[in-house]
């Protein structure tokens, strides 16, 4: 008789596997090297800030930021000859552009405010049924399944302004399309699932489908509608 | 960036918790990072990044000394290291899947004759980390999908996907089917 992997079975056996894995990890192992001064300072800074009262280091954070900016501005404007100053500015700008381009490739950034609406699917591909869903008001997640057990998994999450979210996996054959005025990134992820990611106002949306054509995926997203 | 993240520690209780976590698990995190990255400087970077992620998720830590907390920290440091490896491999066009093969160990002491329980536990232990860590966080540590998504910095959809795919792969493996 074939073994069926159920949640009950996993709740029974995964803790045992976990305990065996944890037992195999030494408690205080030797990393094999002594951390450098740079790293020690970074960690000490985190610890120092963690010991301060929240209100104090919030003010200190703002003050420190202002002080750093002021010192930097004074150094750049007052002490550096014009030619060196221009070269330094260009170097900083180029570095920022590289960082920005790297982050845009991997992240979405939520700009400003917009809708916090979590939308429902007005269209479900033929053969699929909604088998799980959970709406907390801040997130709406769930999955649809067909008779073959193939899944479509979705999630929507309301983000704070300025939040950055990382795409879950590298996508192959990535291309951007526009649906309902929204820019979607669609591609195939590491597991071969077709994935779509987009931002709708303040909501980060994901739909990943085990075996669905791009047309059907787009039709699902086009058919999303405001809840009643 | 550090200032931004440490400002997320909102109460005195949570700040002390981070310090206690550091004292208990710091060397372990360095060790695990070094095991994965094989480079001291990269291991230091991974630990630093992991500390910031831990601070962001301090609300998910109950007792400092517990298997659940150890699993939480190990997961964070491991996935931080994996992210660094993935970034490097992307540059070299190597797929992470090529690095993770799901194979049961060579028949150790006659696995075929082992009890069903041992077979299942062994198979779970040898799952690719992509799926195994989600399983451990959910079915052993008891985290909700939303919390797992926060810890691993992925979407809930991905958490669900990994659970579903992990179950199917585990089932196929244990039933001797092609995956």
CB contact under 8 A, B31 and A26: yes
What pLDDT score was predicted for residue A14? 96
What pLDDT score was predicted for residue A211? 92
A114-160 tens-digit pLDDT: 567 788 898 999 999 998 888 888 888 899 999 988 999 998 988 76
Long-range own/partner contacts, residues A187-190 (CB < 8 A, 24 or more apart): A190/B95, A190/B96, A190/B97
Q: Are residues B115 and B145 in the same domain?
A: yes
Most distant CA atoms of chain B, gap in Å: 56
Q: Is B178 on the interface with A (CB under 8 A)?
A: no
Residue A200 Ramachandran class (φ > 0 left, ψ -120 to 50 alpha, else beta): beta
Q: Are residues B113 and B157 in the same domain?
A: yes
Q: Are residues B2 and B69 in the same domain?
A: yes
CB contact under 8 A, A57 and B15: no
What pLDDT score was predicted for residue B10? 53
pLDDT > 80? residue B125? yes
What pLDDT score was predicted for residue B28? 93
What does the pLDDT average to over A203-211?
A: 90
Q: What is the CATH number of the domain that holds A150?
A: 3.30.200
CB contact under 8 A, B155 and A57: no
In chain A, what residues touch B124 (CB-CB under 8 Å)? Answer: 13-14, 17
Nearest of B33, B157, B19 to residue A193 by alpha carbon: B157
CB contact under 8 A, A17 and B125: yes
pLDDT > 60? residue B92? no
Q: Are residues B1 and B88 in the same domain?
A: yes
Q: Are residues A155 and A211 in the same domain?
A: yes
Q: Are residues A51 and A125 in the same domain?
A: no
Q: In angstroms, rounded to a whole number, what is the distance separating the alpha carbons of residues A76 and A70?
A: 10
Q: Is B34 on the interface with A (CB under 8 A)?
A: yes
A4, part of any domain = no
Q: Is B18 on the interface with A (CB under 8 A)?
A: yes
pLDDT > 70? residue A166? no
CB contact under 8 A, A46 and B6: yes
Q: Are residues B95 and B173 in the same domain?
A: no
Q: Are residues A69 and A140 in the same domain?
A: no
- A103-112, A137-146, A205-214, B109-118 — which is least confidently predicted? A103-112
CB contact under 8 A, B18 and A46: yes
Q: In angstroms, rounded to a whole number, what is the distance separating the alpha carbons of residues A206 and A196?
A: 6
Q: Are residues A124 and A218 in the same domain?
A: yes
Domain ranges, residue A156: 120-225
pLDDT > 80? residue A32? yes
Q: Is B172 on the interface with A (CB under 8 A)?
A: no
CB contact under 8 A, A47 and B67: no
Our CA-based measurement puts residue B147 at a distance from the nearest CA of chain A, in whole angstroms, of 12
What pLDDT score was predicted for residue A69? 73
pLDDT > 70? residue A113? no
Q: Is B64 on the interface with A (CB under 8 A)?
A: no
Q: Are residues B66 and B123 in the same domain?
A: no
Q: Are residues B147 and B175 in the same domain?
A: yes
Query: CA nearest A12 in B: which residue?
Result: B139
pLDDT > 50? residue B27? yes
In chain B, what residues touch A50 (CB-CB under 8 Å)? Answer: 6, 9, 15-16, 18-19, 55
Q: In angstroms, rounded to a whole number, what is the distance separating the alpha carbons of residues B72 and B60?
A: 9
- A44-53, A104-113, A160-169, B48-57 — which is least confidently predicted? A104-113
Query: CA nearest A172 in B: which residue?
Result: B95
CB contact under 8 A, B2 and A42: yes
Q: In angstroms, rounded to a whole number, what is the distance separating the alpha carbons of residues A96 and A90?
A: 10
Q: Report yes or no: B84 and B39 within 8 Å, Cβ to Cβ.
A: no
**β-pairing verdict for A139-145 and A151-158:** antiparallel
- The total number of structural domains in chain A stands at 2
- A19-23, A200-204, B108-112, B118-122 — which is least confidently predicted? B108-112
- The total number of structural domains in chain B stands at 2
State the average pLDDT for chain A.
78
Q: Are residues A170 and A101 in the same domain?
A: no
B6, B143, B171: best to mutate for the A interface, most A CBs within 10 A: B6
In chain A, what residues touch B34 (CB-CB under 8 Å)? Answer: 31-33
pLDDT top residue among A224 and B130: A224
What pLDDT score was predicted for residue B145? 92
> Which residue in B7, B124, B153 is closest to A61 by CB distance?
B7
A180, part of any domain = yes
Our CA-based measurement puts residue A148 at a distance from the nearest CA of chain B, in whole angstroms, of 12
What pLDDT score was predicted for residue A225? 85
Among B99, B118, B148, where does a domain finish?
B99
Q: In angstroms, rounded to a whole number, what is the distance separating the alpha carbons of residues A131 and A135?
A: 14
Domain ranges, residue B70: 1-99
CB contact under 8 A, A21 and B136: yes
What does the pLDDT average to over A193-215?
A: 89
> Which residue in B51, B95, B164 is closest to A43 by CB distance?
B51
A15, part of any domain = no
What pLDDT score was predicted for residue B139? 96
Among B99, B132, B148, where does a domain finish?
B99
What does the pLDDT average to over B26-34?
A: 92
CB contact under 8 A, A149 and B168: yes
State the average pLDDT for chain B.
80
Q: Are residues A150 and A203 in the same domain?
A: yes
What are the DSSP calls for A51-95, one per residue? Answer: HS-HHHHHHHHHHHHHHHHHHHHHIIIIIS-HHHHHHHHHHHHHH
**Residue B71 — pLDDT band, cuts 50, 70, 90?**
very high
Q: Are residues B17 and B76 in the same domain?
A: yes
What pLDDT score was predicted for residue A7? 93
What pLDDT score was predicted for residue B99? 42
CB contact set of B93 (below 8 Å; sequence gap of 6+): none
Say if the ipTM goes beyond 0.90.
no
What pLDDT score was predicted for residue A111? 41
Give percent helix, percent strand, percent coil of chain B, each to the nearest 5. 75, 0, 25
Instruction: Tell me how many residue pairs between chain A and chain B have CB atoms under 8 A apart.
Output: 188
Q: Are residues A57 and A89 in the same domain?
A: yes
**β-pairing verdict for A139-145 and A194-200:** unpaired
pLDDT > 80? residue A86? no
A50, part of any domain = yes
- Rounded to two decimals, what is the model's pTM? 0.69
A102, part of any domain = yes
Q: Are residues B128 and B95 in the same domain?
A: no
**Residue A88 — pLDDT band, cuts 50, 70, 90?**
confident
pLDDT > 80? residue B3? no
pLDDT > 50? residue A59? no
Q: What is the CATH number of the domain that holds B111?
A: 1.10.10.10
- A2-16, A67-81, A207-221, B159-173 — which is least confidently predicted? A67-81
Among B99, B130, B163, where does a domain finish?
B99
pLDDT > 60? residue B112? no
Q: Is B100 on the interface with A (CB under 8 A)?
A: no
Query: CA nearest B87 in A: which residue?
Result: A170
In chain B, what residues touch A49 (CB-CB under 8 Å)? Answer: 2-3, 6, 9
């Amino acid at each position: 008789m074939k073994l069926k992997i159920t949640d009950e079975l996993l709740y029974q056996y995964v803790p045992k596997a976990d305990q065996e894995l944890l037992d195999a990890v030494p408690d205080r192992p030797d990393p094999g090297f002594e951390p450098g001064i740079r790293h020690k300072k970074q960690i000490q800074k985190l610890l120092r800030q963690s010991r301060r009262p929240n209100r104090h280091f919030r003010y200190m954070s703002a003050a420190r930021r202002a002080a750093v900016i002021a010192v930097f501005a004074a150094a750049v404007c007052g002490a550096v000859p014009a030619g060196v100053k221009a070269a330094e500015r260009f170097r900083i700008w180029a570095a920022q552009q590289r960082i920005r381009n790297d982050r845009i490739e991997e992240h979405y950034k939520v700009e400003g405010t917009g809708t916090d609406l979590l939308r429902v699917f007005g269209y479900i591909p033929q053969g699929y049924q909604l088998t799980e869903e959970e709406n907390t008001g801040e997130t709406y997640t769930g999955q649809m399944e067909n008779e073959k057990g193939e899944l479509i998994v979705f999630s929507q999450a309301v983000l704070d302004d300025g939040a950055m979210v990382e795409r879950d996996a590298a996508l192959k054959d990535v291309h951007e399309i526009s649906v309902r005025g929204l820019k979607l990134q669609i591609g195939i992820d590491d597991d071969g699932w077709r994935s779509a990611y987009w931002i709708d106002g303040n909501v980060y949306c994901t739909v990943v489908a085990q075996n669905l054509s791009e047309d059907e995926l787009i039709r699902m997203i086009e058919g999303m509608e405001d809840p009643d | 960036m550090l200032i931004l993240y440490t400002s997320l520690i909102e109460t005195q209780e949570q700040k002390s918790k981070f310090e206690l976590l550091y004292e208990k698990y710091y060397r372990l995190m360095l060790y695990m990072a070094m095991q994965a990255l094989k480079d001291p400087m990269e291991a230091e970077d991974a630990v630093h990044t992991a500390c910031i992620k831990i601070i962001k998720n301090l609300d998910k830590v109950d007792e400092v000394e517990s298997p659940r907390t150890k699993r939480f920290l190990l997961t964070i440091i491991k996935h931080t290291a994996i992210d660094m490896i993935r970034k490097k491999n992307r540059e070299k066009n190597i797929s992470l899947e090529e690095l993770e093969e799901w194979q049961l160990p060579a028949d150790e002491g006659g696995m075929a004759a082992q009890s069903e329980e041992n077979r299942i536990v062994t198979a779970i232990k040898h799952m690719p980390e992509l799926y195994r860590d989600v399983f451990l966080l959910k079915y052993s540590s008891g985290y909700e999908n939303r919390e797992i998504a926060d810890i691993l910095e992925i979407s809930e959809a991905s958490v669900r996907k990994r659970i579903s795919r992990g179950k199917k792969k585990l089932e196929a493996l244990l039933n001797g089917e092609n995956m």
